[in-house]
Amino acid sequence: MHEYSIVASLIERVAREATPRRARVHRLHVAIGELAGVDVALLRTAYDTFRERTVCADAALDVRAVAAAWRCPRCDEALAPGAPLQCPTCGRPARLCAGDEIVLERIELEVPDV
């Protein structure tokens, strides 16, 4: 149920950008890694529930899934999805390089004429 706290932080961050600009928020773009431990359906439900009476009240939420990716820290070789988490070339344990992130990538705003 930490999706609710993620949404609260997301809305707070958007408000810090939109409020000083007196901007209307149209859309949020968020990247969620498959290993981030976030249930995207619950995140969407939490967003729909908590965005009322906030700067995000009329803003759509776009979520981009990020696949997990592993690389060798020594020779920088990428591992194939589903492969053992060990470099096939040098035998070192692989390191996660993508797939655990939660990133607010973009906010679409409409700023009034000044």
Query: What tens digit of pLDDT does each residue of 57-107 get?
Result: 999 999 999 999 999 999 999 999 899 999 988 999 999 999 999 999 999
CATH class of the domain whose range is 3-67+99-110: alpha beta
3-state secondary structure of 16: helix
Q: What's the Rg (C-alpha) of the chain? A: 18
Question: CB under 8 Å to 102, separation ≥6 — which residues?
Answer: 6, 30, 31, 32, 33, 36, 38
Residue 1 has pLDDT above 90, yes or no: no
The structural domains of the chain, with segments of one domain joined by +, span 3-67+99-110
pTM of the model: 0.87
Residue 114 confidence (pLDDT) above 90: no
Separation in Å, CA 75 to CA 15, 65, 79, 93, 102:
43, 27, 11, 11, 27
Which tens digit of pLDDT belongs to each residue from 7-62? 999 999 999 999 999 999 999 999 999 999 999 999 999 999 999 999 999 999 99
Task: Reply yes or no on whether the pLDDT at 113 is more than 70.
Answer: yes
